Amino acid sequence: MHFETPLEFLESRTYDEINVGDSSSLIRTLRPEDVRLFALMSGDMNPALANAEFRHSGLFQDFIAHGMWTASLMSTTLGTQFPGPGTVLIESTVHFARPVTIGDTITVTVTVKQKFDHNRHIILDCTCFNQDQLLVVSGSAEVLAPREKIRTKRTTTPEITISDKYARLQVLVKRAEGLAPIDMAVVHPCDRESLRGALLAAEANLIDPILIGPEQKIRAVAEENGFDLGQHRIVNVKHSHEAAAMAVTLIRSNDVEALMKGSLHTDELMAEVIARGTGLRTERRISHVFLMDVPTYPRPVMITDAAVNILPTLQEKVDIIQNAIDLAHIIGTAEPKVAILSAVETVNPKIQSTLDAAALCKMADRGQIKGGLLDGPLAFDNAVSLVAAKTKGIRSAVAGRADILVVPDLESGNMLAKQLEYLGNALSAGIVLGARVPIVLTSRADTAETRIASCVIAALIAHAAREKQASER
């Protein structure tokens, strides 16, 4: 007899109810998150599973499961289906016939082979076949069968989100795959994270760094942390202010294509960038964008401006939005959805940000802002949640699907971005737009991973500028 457990209940079969030849089956499909979760739970980071180069060497042709993930399905079948709750596993043997890859559907069948009345032990044959009816795992299990019948309502397992920031960083880095490294001035990289970020970005072939700062101090940081400076150029200057001025000079002379902030204060760097006559201004207002990959949001989202413009005017917001739209085009979003944020989703004359939002949307209608789809004012929940937008009766192509979040002021934007990074485990990249070159502007507390992510964006912008210049010749 073949037994199936009702979906709503876990129900055991007692020793006396079980006969030789009885069986039960369980079906599972391997998902990528199953492999990651099993690796985290077990600590088994086998390179055959984790290293792409090894995985595609010919031994295994795809992302494979841990062998014990498949074997654990046999235990699941025994403990939840047949004999079911109350079963105690005494001994088992397992033979692995072939790997299980992402997307494979495994059918586990356990069949009673022998019964022992003196101790209520049962021996079962166990087989696991994939969707092509190929054997992947076989074995046997000796169990102590339940003495009494147990029937209990099946509980819903909690949802688990695996937030792998490193994996998301690799996806971002692949956007710049195949592009030549760009020359980047790294201003005053005189602490561990700023120097490490520049060196890792160079290792990833994103940048060719020019390290500008007190040479002795840079070399001391490298030696203290075991960093290899290799053949990277160092421009020796006395202090951070001189480093910022030198970086701007190199850009104005077309010796570098991008700039990265090191361990100096943002104001010190930006003072040189925005200096009239000697800085890096263009006809466009300079603004900052956080590009964030948030585990709970289905697409990357930009937040602007959260680092440069403190309380932007309506006209300044036009440039802030256009800068972000232009960046969205560069990273592959053809018509970004732009949500103009406020505390509410209706125009209120007492809340300036709602008035600005209404004006900005009309300006986009008239072609004063190009390349994006604008809507606002929108509260944050309406901007990122379709459910929230529908609940409020908002009909919009932007609400719940925003690619760009335009904040009312620097304070709200900065808090929003840092909440997502520190509480939401978002991967963050920070870039300054509207200057002659892209500027990687990260916090001194930011990790090297954030700096690498920012370098990816800078590299994409620099290569887009190269292509534009070539097309204009």
Q: Give me the average pLDDT of each 10-residue run along the chain (473 residues).
A: 69 90 92 78 62 39 72 90 91 92 90 94 95 94 90 75 65 80 94 90 91 94 92 93 93 92 90 89 93 86 94 96 96 93 94 96 96 95 90 90 96 94 87 93 76 88 86 73
The pLDDT, as a whole number, for residue 148 is 87
Burial (CB < 10 A; 0-12, 13-18, 19+), residue 64, is buried
- Residue 83 preceded by cis peptide, ω within 30: yes
Question: Is 284-434 a CATH 3.40.718.10 domain?
Answer: yes
**Which residues, 6 or more positions from 381, have their beta carbon under 8 angstroms from its beta carbon?**
388
The pLDDT, as a whole number, for residue 58 is 37
The pLDDT, as a whole number, for residue 384 is 93
9-53+62-153 and 284-434: same fold? Answer: no
pTM (two decimals) = 0.71
The pLDDT, as a whole number, for residue 56 is 39
The pLDDT, as a whole number, for residue 41 is 76
Domain ranges of the chain: 9-53+62-153, 284-434
| Tokens standing for residue 33 | 């998150």
Assign domain 9-53+62-153 one CATH number from 2.60.120.10, 3.10.129.10, 3.40.50.150, 3.40.50.11540.
3.10.129.10
Per-residue burial over 368-396, b = 16 or more CB atoms within 10 Å of its CB, e = otherwise:
ebebbbbbbbbbbebbbbeebbeebebeb
d(CA 378, CA 347): 10
d(CA 257, CA 177): 18
The pLDDT, as a whole number, for residue 164 is 64
